[in-house]
Amino acid sequence: MKYLQTRRDFLKKTSAAAITTMGMGAPLAGLLSSCESKIPTTADSVILLFMAGGMAHTETFDPKKFTPFRKGMEAKEVLSTFPSIPTKLDGIFLSEGLENIASVLDKGTLIRSYQAADLGHILHTRHQYHFHTCYEPPQSVVVPHLGSWIAKEKGPLNPVIPPFINIGQRFTVGEGEELKAFHSAGFLGSEYGPFLIPDPSTGLEAVRPPVGMDYKRFEGRNQLYNDLVAASPMGEFGSDYQKESLKRSMEQAYMLLNSPEAKAFDLSQEPKESYDKYNTGRFGLGCLLAKRLVDQGARYITVTTEYEPFFGWDTHDNGHTRLKDMKKLIDGPIAQLIKDLDQSGKLDRTMVIIASEFSRDMLMEGRPDLKVQDQVEVPDIIEDMKNYGMHRHFTDGCSVLMFGGGIKRGHVFGKTADERPCKTIENPIKIDGIHQTIYHALGIPPDKNYEIEKRPFYTTPDGKGKVEFGLLSKS
């Protein structure tokens, strides 16, 4: 079993990697890397809808036998706490509360065999780091986020719109520093890092001066900011490449500020009927903002339900009642996003992914053949509703939904067992397969790499990620 690692260890090593990365020169295109991709593209943009906190597959996209709550029931009886509902696909069911997503399932592929990594003692931010970068933490350099690789290799579709936009995650809650560790372009440079919008309802504020500040005063503030950056650790220790990349990122932000496209960030411009369909809260409005930004040429967008320990999908208690609320938050907006993109014709070239860092189970922590330390106590006999639901972290069977951008329509990929442990039993797929399939759809070759610390650094570890062609349409 891999060694256990504390959050403090994780932070120390990622901080050290960040300092190392600052001093690096320009990443050199690897000699083995394709000079020009010959891969026909099926996608121009990617939207990742990330269910941060651990979304139980048996309570959402892969329901099992429903066992209603009753006092005195045995915990081992519980596989799903919601009944199943039919979908647009014959014989395929989702969990109650996802009726809207069920109505658009014919437009995409449901993966029921994603296996999260074995990283030892389970920490959400370590698994989120792995999901978003494809690399197990910690690394000796700051590893680029999936969105940063795409921003670097594909560039912006619209030079004014940031090529990598992250919506919905605050860094002032919970494990903020750990979350920041993978929200980075790393050695690729700051210009490919995320444009952060913690709250989509105030997205316009991210692209205009504060209220009451005229542009002349704002320009003065901008110069002051440049001076502060020059005196910062980046200004003092950063390589010429990293300094220039930071300068370009600031110039891009300033260009957006003065552009007509900035209106895309203003949700008050959306017709009320459309706004109301999305308005279930910050996540729903994030989906609406993602739709508006794709219309303006955004390349890569993440919208997250946000990770905050013991909230949302992080169901260490009250699993059933919490998921009722989470489904209300995501069901309408996700389905509406798919419908709107399909109706506008954008879905054909926009890949939409719904995923989480891992799944959950009542009894199993980790996976059956490599169980790890329990982090939640679940009584053998359930007397209280707070113990009814999926509380433990489960990594051996997770669900992912994919739509558009060359993904098959009306398809189900993989299978998990119907009885506990509800693990993957057909067509397992891991994160390097997910990433390489996304890159393939965008036309980024599997041998793409840069020379870092005198070794090739690939989009997936050692360049071994394989495209899962079973997810892609042949047309």
pLDDT tens profile 333-360: 999 999 999 999 999 999 999 999 999 9
Confidence (pLDDT) at 373 = 84
Q: The domain spanning residue 235 has which CATH number?
A: 3.40.720.10
Position 294 confidence tier, pLDDT thresholds 50, 70, 90: very high
Could you tell me the sign of the dihedral formed by the alpha carbons of 145, 146, 150, 153, in that order?
positive
3-state class percentages of the chain: helix first, strand second, coil last, to nearest 5: 40, 15, 45
Q: Is pLDDT at 272 greater than 90 in this prediction? A: yes
Instruction: Determine which of 108-117, 196-205, 293-302 has the lowest per-residue pLDDT on average.
Output: 196-205
Asked if residue 78 lies in contact with residue 362, where contact means CB atoms within 8 angstroms, the answer is: yes
Higher local confidence (pLDDT), 232 or 294? 294
In sequence order, what are the beta bridge partners of 84? 95
pTM over 0.85: yes
Whether residue 271 is contained in a domain is answered as yes
Whether residue 1 is contained in a domain is answered as no
Residues in the chain: 475
Whether residue 236 is contained in a domain is answered as yes
Q: Is pLDDT at 235 greater than 80 in this prediction? A: no
Average pLDDT over residues 312-340: 97
Confidence (pLDDT) at 238 = 54
Q: Is pLDDT at 85 greater than 90 in this prediction? A: yes
Q: What is the DSSP string of 85-130?
A: EE-SSTT-EEETT-HHHHTTGGGEEEEEEE-----SS--HHHHHHH
> SS3 for 315?
coil
The backbone torsions φ and ψ at residue 235, rounded to the nearest 5 degrees and listed phi first, read -65, -35
Cα gap 11→213, rounded to integer Å:
37
Whether residue 124 is contained in a domain is answered as yes
The owner of tokens 């759809």 is: 441
Instruction: Determine which of 137-141, 338-342, 389-393 has the lowest per-residue pLDDT on average.
Output: 137-141
Position 3 confidence tier, pLDDT thresholds 50, 70, 90: very low
The token pair that represents 215 in the structure block: 């542009």
Cα gap 364→2, rounded to integer Å:
18
> SS3 for 362?
coil
The owner of tokens 């959050």 is: 7
The secondary element (H helix, E strand) that includes residue 224 is: helix 215-230
Asked if residue 376 lies in contact with residue 392, where contact means CB atoms within 8 angstroms, the answer is: yes
Amino acid (one-letter) located at 322: R
Average pLDDT over residues 58-86: 97
User: For the purposes of burial, counting CB atoms within 10 Å of the CB of 218, is it exposed (0-12), middle (13-18) or buried (19 or more)?
Assistant: middle
The number of folded domains in the chain is 1
Asked if residue 325 lies in contact with residue 59, where contact means CB atoms within 8 angstroms, the answer is: no
CB-CB neighbours of 202 under 10 Å: 12
Instruction: Determine which of 27-41, 78-92, 258-272 has the lowest per-residue pLDDT on average.
Output: 27-41
Mean per-residue pLDDT of the chain: 87
Cα gap 53→305, rounded to integer Å:
9
Q: Which domain covers residue 39, as residue numbers?
A: 7-22+29-471
Nearest to 167 by CA among 300, 322, 260, 312: 300
Confidence (pLDDT) at 208 = 65
Q: How far apart are the first and last CA of the chain?
A: 43
Confidence (pLDDT) at 250 = 59
Whether residue 2 is contained in a domain is answered as no
Among left, alpha and beta (phi > 0; psi -120 to 50; other), residue 405 is left
- C-alpha radius of gyration, the chain, whole number: 22
CA distances from residue 286 to 29, 201, 323 in whole angstroms, order as listed? 35, 8, 19
Cα gap 25→143, rounded to integer Å:
15
Average pLDDT over residues 353-368: 95
Confidence (pLDDT) at 122 = 87
The token pair that represents 2 in the structure block: 């891999």
> SS3 for 414?
coil
Nearest to 463 by CA among 441, 434, 437, 432: 432
List Cβ<8 Å contacts ≥24 apart for 219-223. 222/250, 222/254
Average pLDDT over residues 259-273: 90
Whether residue 115 is contained in a domain is answered as yes
Confidence (pLDDT) at 252 = 66
Average pLDDT over residues 200-223: 64
